[in-house]
Chain A
Amino acid sequence: MSILFLLVPLSLGLVVFAGWGFFWAVSSGQFDDLESPGWDVLQENGRSEPIDEHS
């Protein structure tokens, strides 16, 4: 069972990493608006359209 003394700290490291990732996502505003980004994919002619018109 002594493998636990290695695995447990390892799992803690993973948790800290996952937590850091989540904190980074929150700080960069990815959880500020959970509503509107979901609608973007429903657009067939998305943001490229106005650019096409000008080019």
Chain B
Amino acid sequence: MAAPTGSCFHCGEQLGRTQIFATINEERQPVCCEGCRCVAELIASSGLGDFYRYRDGVTVRPEATLSSPDAWDAYRNDAVARGFIRQTAGGYQATLAVEGLRCAACCWLIDRSLRQLPDVHEVSINAATARAHVEWSGDRTTLVAVLRTIAALGYRPHPLTPASIDLSAQNERRGALKRLAAAAFGMMQVMMFATSIYAAQIAGEVMDPGIVHFFHIVSLLVTTPLLVYVGAPIFLSAWTSIRHRSIGMDVPVSIALLLAYIASVWNTLHADGQAAVYFDSVTMFLFFLTLARFVQMSIRQRTAALSDALARQLPAYAHRSVDGEIEDVPLAELQRDDRLLVKAGEVIPADGILVDSDAHVDESMLTGESLPVAKRAGDQLAAGTLNIDGPLHMMVRTSGNATILSHIVALMQRGQALKPAMMRNADAAAAKFLRVVLGGAALTCIAWWVIDPTRAFTATVAVLVVACPCAFAIAAPSALAAATAHLAHLGVLVTHPDALEALARIDRIVFDKTGTLTRGDVRIERCTALSNLSSARCLEIAAALELASEHPLSRAFRMVDRPYVATAIQVFAGRGVEGIVDSHRYRIGTPEFVAELRGASTSAAFAEAQAGTLVCLGDEHHELALIQLCDTPRENAASAIAQLRRLGIESEILSGDGESPVVATAVYCGVAEFHARQSPEQKLAHVLSLQRADHHVAMVGDGVNDAPVLGASNVSIAMGRGAALAQASAGLVLIGEDLDALPKAIMIARRMGRIARQNLIWAALYNVGSLPLAALGVVPPWLAAVGMSISSLAVMLNAMRLLPRHVPRQSTRSRAECLPVVTRTGELPRGAALS
């Protein structure tokens, strides 16, 4: 394996010995490929070189297909483009989802580049939702130009139809922010009056009853609209859960709020100003609840963008061929037996049958198989797979609901339905606690009714306030939020709130091989010389030939020196490459293809060759070499698995790949248990059988085919650059693709579990302990409110221990630094993202 000599200036990939340089600000910077050179020089020549100073981590590598001239041609068609553009008085508007948007510097770069297009007058890019909004006037700029500009920078733009622009998330966030602010303002006002009354009580002074009554009336005026506006979602959710005959966390909360409020109103209107009111408790409770909800919503929204990723995998339009004419039609209009053209690099829009003689299809999102699959005329093509070389024609068989992709999505939904609902435990405990509080309140009421009826109602409400499960309500969410923030620093994104709870209990972890334990990049494993030509020389010849090929396998040869230049190169799609090197004619590719050149059948050595993983090199007389290709294991895979073992977690591999690469990876990583050639159904069955054996299983996956398994496992973890669907169904996403973060994440999850338990125990102790005191009438109302606040504060402070101790300086190594989730919302202290 060629020693890496550095990393690419643009995308940070390891460099081979073959070096390409990009000229940035008159300095030569090493880059890994022509794509990166183009993008880096484009960025620098547009006066945007500062991007490299301000970006967090490294940029996504541009895909070759993105900058190809015809990738966006469909949008040139007016009828197609109109679907994505809104016409306004000032010109045109379009909203795009931008894939690969990782940090604020990315936003800045796209913003500046788009503004250099003629007539573009408004660009706004939201890093949080990865949406770009562009407005332009006049005909000098088109949607195609906008898309190409973004694509040329190495991002993948997806135009959104007005219907699909998700305004609900934005509205939800704005609404939550307003409620939070309203609750904070209202709480401050009410507390101001309450504190003065308490202060007088503590000092033993007697306040003018008129002023006290006035304060109560004002508090009532502030609290009433607040309860209606801020409390509405809580009451609605409580009402929904009651209608479904389950007691959710919102039910006790709503009852406490309403009882305290009604009692306060009663006492304000009917008493002489001496009876206790609890408006301060009501508003404070509302504020803490809203705060906890806002933090959770921010975390959820940040990751919700991943879940619409499946829709993006299918193109919105297909090229239909009618009597030799090509027209672009919406997917919905496709019918059985339509003849379609699928260009190179495009997603196959519907299930169908190949008409052309041969084609290569990347089915990795369906089967997880990283190598392209050869298809012949009459073979099935699955919707959602990628056509990787040359245009192909196909005949539609089914589309929409009946496609294989929808089959996998359905499988995934079933997998998710099997998922145990971890969060129900907390709600069940709250429901039990509610019964204790209600029972206690009822007992207090009856007891005081017998002893002293005048104090019965006040004491009852005091019990409800003091035992208000405020600390209880935020005990788990605050720990969760702090742990999530810490994990974001490590490059671990939490997409499902119950994933962390489950992660703490994991005792078995299942890896899919390709793209998780391995990098998903193909490299040369071994070159066996079969004649008197040395293997090094064979590799050099192979590299010269493969230079011309766009085949994914040819990337493996980038690391090899190229002293030779091949001429008369012919690329045979799906078979190999033929060319003349040093006045000899060579072929590299499948055994049959190479054997044809010398007019012989394949030899025994070649017959062993497994399709895809072995490449042969031969000339007109001999077979020269067998080159075995394999995926590069991640550097830290072995150390991560060793660390996991120290945590008492055994690892295993479930892969769709063939036996030998799986064995090799297992040996490299030190994994004892592995299964090769697993279909998605087999993987699902295996995980379910592990769970039946009382194991808590975490699944680390990459492809769409992992999605059902990810759904069924106790915790699902996807890799940052894996298939979008895998990320969408995963509970955790390793954005940094750093496997070492996995054991750390498990340790944090376990700490979170401990701290959440401490919080719950403390909150329960406080509530249960204070309940009898309040019932005995010992606790005055102000003490009840202060006690409630202190118990909440203690819970919050305890949760803060989960935040990273010291804020690390930006490390160039870690892509994880790319904007922690929670800090984006401004809720928790953010790290130094600027170097």
Contact = CB atoms under 8 A, between A and B. Distances in A.
A35 B218 contact: no
Interface in A1-38: 1, 4-5, 8-9, 11-12, 15, 18-19, 22-23, 26-27, 31-36, 38
Contacts of B127: 33, 35-36
A36 B110 CA distance: 12
A19 B185 contact: yes
A34 B820 CA distance: 13
Interface centre among A5, A8, A23, A36 (most CB of B within 10 A): A36
B54 A4 contact: no
A40 B108 contact: yes
A36 B54 CA distance: 11
Contact of A34 (B125, B215, B218, B825): B825
Interface in B110-157: 111-112, 115-116, 124-128
A1 B211 contact: yes
B182 interface: yes
B125 to A, nearest CB: 7
B43 interface: no
Given A33-B125, A39-B104, A39-B107, 17 more contacts: A1-B211, A9-B218, A11-B189, A12-B221, A15-B189, A18-B185, A19-B185, A26-B177, A26-B178, A33-B124, A33-B128, A34-B826, A35-B127, A35-B128, A43-B108, A47-B115, A50-B112
Give chain B's interface residue range (CB within 8 Å of chain A): 35 or more
Nearest to A42: B54
A45 B47 contact: yes
B174 A27 contact: yes
A15 B222 CA distance: 10
B300 interface: no
A39 B177 contact: no
Interface of B: 47, 50, 54, 104-105, 107-108, 111-112, 115-116, 124-128, 170, 173-174, 177-178, 181-182, 185, 189, 208, 211, 214-215, 218, 221-222, 819, 824-826
Contact of A12 (B128, B218, B825): B218
12 contacts: A5-B214, A9-B218, A12-B222, A15-B185, A19-B181, A32-B126, A35-B824, A36-B126, A36-B127, A39-B107, A49-B47, A50-B116
Contacts of A4: 211, 214
A20 B409 CA distance: 45
Contacts of B111: 36
Nearest to A5: B214
B261 to A, nearest CB: 19
A43 B211 CA distance: 56
B819 A35 contact: yes
A41 to B, nearest CB: 11
Contacts of B50: 43
Contacts of A19: 181-182, 185
B177 to A, nearest CB: 5
Classify the interface of chain B: helix, strand, loop or mixed: helix
A21 B715 CA distance: 44
Contacts of B47: 45, 49-50
A19 to B, nearest CB: 5
B174 A8 contact: no
Contacts of B173: 32
Interface of A: 1, 4-5, 8-9, 11-12, 15, 18-19, 22-23, 26-27, 31-36, 38-40, 42-43, 45, 47, 49-50
Nearest to A47: B115
Nearest to B217: A8
Q: Which 7 A-B pairs have the closest CB atoms?
A: A36-B107, A36-B104, A33-B126, A39-B104, A35-B104, A35-B127, A22-B181
Nearest to A44: B50
Contacts of B211: 1, 4
Nearest to B181: A22
Given A4-B211, A8-B214, A39-B104, A23 B126 contact: no
A38 B128 CA distance: 14
A31 B171 CA distance: 12
Contacts of A26: 174, 177-178, 181
Given A4-B211, A19-B181, A19-B182, A12 B104 contact: no
Contacts of A9: 218
Contacts of A32: 126, 128, 170, 173-174
Contact of B189 (A12, A22, A35): A12
Contact of B125 (A1, A5, A36): A36
Contacts of B125: 33, 36
A22 B178 CA distance: 8
Contacts of A47: 112, 115
Given A1-B208, A45-B47, A50-B116, A36 B108 contact: yes
Nearest to B126: A33
Contacts of B215: 8
A25 to B, nearest CB: 9
A23 B819 contact: no
A12 to B, nearest CB: 7
A27 B171 CA distance: 9
B819 to A, nearest CB: 7
A38 B174 contact: no
Contacts of A1: 208, 211
Nearest to B47: A49
A47 B121 CA distance: 11
Interface centre among A1, A32, A40, A49 (most CB of B within 10 A): A32
B425 to A, nearest CB: 34
A11 B196 CA distance: 15
A12 B215 CA distance: 12
A33 B126 CA distance: 6
A11 to B, nearest CB: 8
B169 to A, nearest CB: 10
A43 B215 CA distance: 51
A50 B120 CA distance: 12
Contacts of A5: 214
Contacts of B819: 35
Contacts of B825: 34
A52 B401 CA distance: 53
B115 A50 contact: yes
